[in-house]
Structure 1
């Protein structure tokens, strides 16, 4: 199949025009307008494309090779941070561990410094918009307990006393889980599994990070809690929907974050903010305690300053919890071969027309990443072009239908509580037919089988993470923002397939464009082979010059 991408035909709309457009979509005459919108965007050939004999189920993901170096999650985390010393300007997990061990600083001092900094960053006209909820006194109590353990030589793990931020899509006991809305304020009584694992490891949860409302857009502008500002240039977006988590890590406030990814929502902001983000295999990290917004394509996962940080957090978060059905039947997670920089025999799958369908600076930096991998011994294998129209509509139908259903009780009562961009997407989700959703689920099954066949001949597929670096925030449209499907498509072009199929994908910084904004490269692997993605990510990272953003906080000194 020759590479083809249909142009986005929807207009860019904001302000009164956007309000009128949304009101029309939600009115009695909305159905024909919605049908024209989706038809103009290419849904008709998708509806007519046969999925063959695929049933409407997730194709069973193959288990992958077992670990050759079996270790406990705690041992894996230690191994990850010991793999390489970080430069002094990067306050990685390893830097925290060494500073605590050597007595240079303690978690209480770190917590106080961070809260003082955040009190400045999160107020006034210069507000960065990174957090929705913080509880400084609670964090200070956790830091005091951590400091006592460290003094006694009994840390809970290498993450003991290390600050981490959690996206406000994950339940943390005692905090409301707003999902970025203005109406959902239930205080969680129990930690989500990932939050419980963070607490058990001794990590300091700084608070709940701002996010795109219900995670329904990849831009990162929240009409209720404010736009999250990019630490590289506060006039630019962070991407979404894990926007606050990415910005907090990029700014140096903590080396670790937890995000969620239903359509690139970890990888997109990781790329635009110059950090590392991992969407693990579907079910690899339990979703228990994460409100079900898009259960067929959603993933919760680690974000970090470096690949080693993400590897350490992945080691702690992954593995079944006995409650998440999807997470139960999987091989043990591991970091086999993680430190090996020799990539001889590794095959990189690339479809060059697809790879090059991005801004010139993005393509150039991602080609630098490919060169780093081939210099280390990997070889490039050309692969067929993806069917982008099928991927787009299959993913859009599934995620928007599921989000529309999850929000249906509230949209029936007070749809005006949602921002205009959310209302647009929810209206499209409600417009899809039952037959569309079954059709999409069958295509998901078929696309997974086809991708497995492609990956029998390669070890990873490499593309840019996003087709553009971070666009400028449309300041005049705030707080509501705008509907800009051209930008949304450029941000999501390379990420949808990983959510649809459940395959793991890692975004790693690959350098910067001419404006100094970060560029990310994406590595997508076979199911349950996160260890290989992390290994290759370290090679790319080692070859990429380190820079620090305009907003750069230090907590250890």
Structure 2
């Protein structure tokens, strides 16, 4: 089979036209007919006729992964991840924070005060970056005072003690509503999510809840209620989404780490567009307890950070069962075996060249540079057959949009206008899928997982660009409602959907810049529970890539 990608047949819409289309889609008689036509024009009938073979509608069991060669506790792993990190004035990494605190150059209280002042500058007024939905500065300052006392006593809780982080407003943080980027979710969370609790136990300082695409339904990052999240490399461009401000806050220098969530590239896409690192770990590797359900079968929560070492440290602290999340049970112990080993002898990189090259020229060039860095370190390239993009597109779209429509159905029925126009358009699609479509999608999910695992018996990691383009310009004239632009959505999601369907871990790493100075990301997909290998390869790519500082940037260490 030759590589094929059908063009997206959907008009770009905004304003009155988008509102009219959404109102039509939601009408009882006309809407379903129009939705069905749009789906047929985009290739759903070919997918409906595609056999899933003997695959049942349950997820194919993920193999258990190899045991740790170097067993360590999560805190030991986190310390190890940053042990050989370069410490420079230009990049305020976790290692830079740890060194500054150890040397007494500064302390968490001073850092938090600088961070709060910087947030006021960056997120206030007409030129705001659209970073935060909610903050409680006094609570953060109190946590910083406790952290400073521990550090002065030589008793830090972990290498993250006193390190600022932000949380996507898709995870519970006690005392805050978890808005999911909406205005109707106002109930205050009574308990921390597992990821928030583990970060607090490690001493991290949570600056606040980060802006996101409404209900995480779009990879662009424009929120009609809390404003467009803007890219620190060029504030006229998008951050990507849906973990939009989680990436922008790190890129802007407010913190070296953040929490994102990823149902269809929502960690990796904004990481690529903002020039940071994003890890979607194996499905269930990091517990989703305290993360309101939006898309049960494809959802992941995970770390985003300035460098691979930063992400590795946060991954070490977040991963592992919590006794509550059923998907997170019965998994092997996470580890960072051979993490520091820069020699990649024996590592096989799977590449489908026409798929790899189906991106903008600058993106392809930079990702080829990343591939060269891996082969220079000893890895070899194995040519792979092309993926069935239509099957991947419709299998993923059916599962995620059906589940999102079900997750918000009470609000949608009560008052659809509480959602933005673009969300309503996507939810109308989700409500139109048939029960037979959903079962068909689950069967194909099983088939695709089984086939990917078989393919990866002969390769260790798949390599593609993360996105097919760098950050597009924000359509300013369409704000605050935004627009429906499916060709851009496809360019952002082309390479990332499969890992959500199968549950395989995937990592986006900065690979350089295009001619306009916007970041490019390279995407590495691994076998289940082999995050340690992805991070090891990501480290090699990162150290070979050009490093720059965004035009909008602050330093909080002083």
Aligned runs of 1:286-435 on 2, under 5 Å?
286-435=287-436
2:73 aligned with 1:72: yes
CA distance in structure 1 between the aligned counterparts of 2:513 and 2:553, rounded to whole angstroms: 17
CA distance in structure 2 between the aligned counterparts of 1:32 and 1:506, rounded to whole angstroms: 39
Partner of 1:531: 532
Task: For residue 389 of structure 1, report the CA deviation from its aligned partner.
Answer: 0.1
Question: 1:37-79: CA deviations, max 9, x gaps?
Answer: 0000000000000101101001000011110000000000000
Partner of 2:200: 199
Question: 1:269-327: CA deviations, max 9, x gaps?
Answer: 00000000000000000000000000100000000000000000000000000000100
Partner of 1:543: 544
CA distance in structure 1 between the aligned counterparts of 2:88 and 2:312, rounded to whole angstroms: 18
Partner of 1:230: 231
How large is the RMSD of aligned CA atoms in angstroms? 0.5
Task: For residue 120 of structure 1, report the CA deviation from its aligned partner.
Answer: 1.5
Partner of 1:180: 181
CA distance in structure 2 between the aligned counterparts of 1:122 and 1:458, rounded to whole angstroms: 45
Partner of 1:266: 267
Partner of 2:27: 27
Task: For residue 96 of structure 1, report the CA deviation from its aligned partner.
Answer: 0.3
Question: 1:472-497: CA deviations, max 9, x gaps?
Answer: 00000000000000000000000000
CA distance in structure 2 between the aligned counterparts of 1:53 and 1:437, rounded to whole angstroms: 16
Secondary structure at the aligned position of 1:90 is classed as coil
CA distance in structure 2 between the aligned counterparts of 1:133 and 1:385, rounded to whole angstroms: 44
Task: For residue 122 of structure 1, report the CA deviation from its aligned partner.
Answer: 1.2
Task: For residue 186 of structure 1, report the CA deviation from its aligned partner.
Answer: 1.2
Question: 1:126-185: CA deviations, max 9, x gaps?
Answer: 111010001100000000000011111111111000000000000000111000001111
CA distance in structure 2 between the aligned counterparts of 1:159 and 1:294, rounded to whole angstroms: 30
Question: 1:409-453: CA deviations, max 9, x gaps?
Answer: 000001001000000000000000000000000000000000001
Aligned runs of 1:103-182 on 2, under 5 Å?
103-182=104-183
CA distance in structure 1 between the aligned counterparts of 2:301 and 2:91, rounded to whole angstroms: 25
Aligned runs of 1:243-262 on 2, under 5 Å?
243-262=244-263
Partner of 1:6: 6
Aligned runs of 1:460-471 on 2, under 5 Å?
460-471=461-472
Unaligned runs of 5+ in 1: none
CA distance in structure 2 between the aligned counterparts of 1:87 and 1:17, rounded to whole angstroms: 51
CA distance in structure 2 between the aligned counterparts of 1:525 and 1:86, rounded to whole angstroms: 29
Secondary structure at the aligned position of 1:294 is classed as coil
CA distance in structure 2 between the aligned counterparts of 1:135 and 1:229, rounded to whole angstroms: 22
Secondary structure at the aligned position of 1:235 is classed as strand
Unaligned runs of 5+ in 2: none
Aligned runs of 1:278-293 on 2, under 5 Å?
278-293=279-294
Secondary structure at the aligned position of 2:511 is classed as strand
Partner of 1:86: 87
CA distance in structure 1 between the aligned counterparts of 2:128 and 2:460, rounded to whole angstroms: 43
CA distance in structure 1 between the aligned counterparts of 2:19 and 2:433, rounded to whole angstroms: 22
Task: For residue 365 of structure 1, report the CA deviation from its aligned partner.
Answer: 0.2
CA distance in structure 2 between the aligned counterparts of 1:542 and 1:159, rounded to whole angstroms: 23
CA distance in structure 2 between the aligned counterparts of 1:121 and 1:185, rounded to whole angstroms: 25
CA distance in structure 2 between the aligned counterparts of 1:124 and 1:553, rounded to whole angstroms: 17
Question: 1:194-225: CA deviations, max 9, x gaps?
Answer: 00000000000000000000000000000000
CA distance in structure 1 between the aligned counterparts of 2:451 and 2:501, rounded to whole angstroms: 12
Runs of 4 or more off by more than 4 Å in structure 1?
none
Task: For residue 408 of structure 1, report the CA deviation from its aligned partner.
Answer: 0.2
Task: For residue 86 of structure 1, report the CA deviation from its aligned partner.
Answer: 3.4
CA distance in structure 2 between the aligned counterparts of 1:182 and 1:123, rounded to whole angstroms: 20
Partner of 1:216: 217
Question: 1:203-261: CA deviations, max 9, x gaps?
Answer: 00000000000000000000000000000000000000000100000001000000000
Secondary structure at the aligned position of 1:438 is classed as helix
Q: TM-score by structure 1 length? A: 1.00
CA distance in structure 1 between the aligned counterparts of 2:404 and 2:289, rounded to whole angstroms: 18
Q: TM-score by structure 2 length? A: 0.99
2:56 aligned with 1:55: yes
2:481 aligned with 1:480: yes
Task: For residue 119 of structure 1, report the CA deviation from its aligned partner.
Answer: 1.0
